[in-house]
Amino acid sequence: MPRFALQIEYDGSPFAGWQRQADQPSVQGAIEAALARLQPGQHTIAAAGRTDAGVHATAQVAHCDLTRDWDPFRLSEALNFHLKPAPVAIVGAARVADDWHARFSAHERRYLFRIIARRAPLTFEAGQAWRINHTLNLTAMQAGADQLLGEHDFTTFRSTMCQAQSPVKTLDALDVTEVPRANGTEYQFRVRARSFLHNQVRSFVGTLERVGAGAWTPDDVGRALAARDRAACGPVCPPMGLYLAGVGYPDDPFAD
C-alpha cells in the first residue's frame, strides 16, 4: 500500500487534542474521517507528536497508507475539500518509502510559544496566544532559558501524567525574542529537541514568565532543574499559545 506523508496545519481551539477520542473532536479523527471519504474503511494515521487540547500546529506531520497511488497534490486537495469546515489544512503531501514513519523517522521537533503583553483583551488573536497584562524582562528570561540547554533529567518540567520511560532529554535550543506590536509586546519562545516530555514546553514557558516578571531569578531556574521535583516547577502556562512549528527528518519529504 502506498504511504504518504502529510504536513498539517490546525487551530487546536475546538479540539480535545490531536489523538482520536470516542466522544470528543480531535484533529486525528477529523483527518481520518476525511480519508474515509476518499477510501471507505477504517483509517489510522500516525503523527510526529500528540498535541494537547487547545494546542495548535503550523507543521505537524503524519503518515497514512492508501490503496491508491495518489498524486500528492491531488491527495492534499481532496483531503482539504473533505476537511471543511474544520480548522485543519493539509499544506503538503509526499509519497514516502513504506518504512518511513512520521514519528520514528523524525530527528527533531520544534515548538513556538507566543505571549502577548497588553492590557486589553485579545480579539482577533483570542485563543492563539497567552495574554498577560505586564511586560517581561527579555534578558532575564534568556538567561534562565540557557540553564535548561543540554542533556538533563527534566523531572521538574514534566507532567506527573507523562508516560515517557525516562525524564532525561536533550534540549538543543530555547530562544526568547521580543516582537514590538502596535498595541503591546509579543514574546516568542522557540524550542528545539529530538523529543519532548508531556507539558515540558508549557512548563518551561510558565517558569520563564515568572523570571521575566521578576518573581524568579535566572538562577532559580537552574535550582528548579536540579531539584528533579515537579513541585519545584513554576506555573504551567495555558495551551493556547503553543504551536508545533516543525518536525525535522534526515531527508525532508516535503522539500521541493
Of the candidates 52, 65, 146, 220, the residue annotated as catalytic is 52
Could you confirm whether 98 is annotated as catalytic? Answer: no
The DSSP-derived string for 19-88 is: S--SSS--HHHHHHHHHHHHS-S----EES-PPBTT-EEEEEEEEEE-SS---HHHHHHHHHHHHTTSSE
For the chain, count helices (H), then strands (E).
5, 10
Contact call for residues 190 and 173 (beta carbons, < 8 A): yes
Neighbouring C-beta atoms of residue 163, cutoff 10 Å = 7
Which residues are the active-site residues?
52
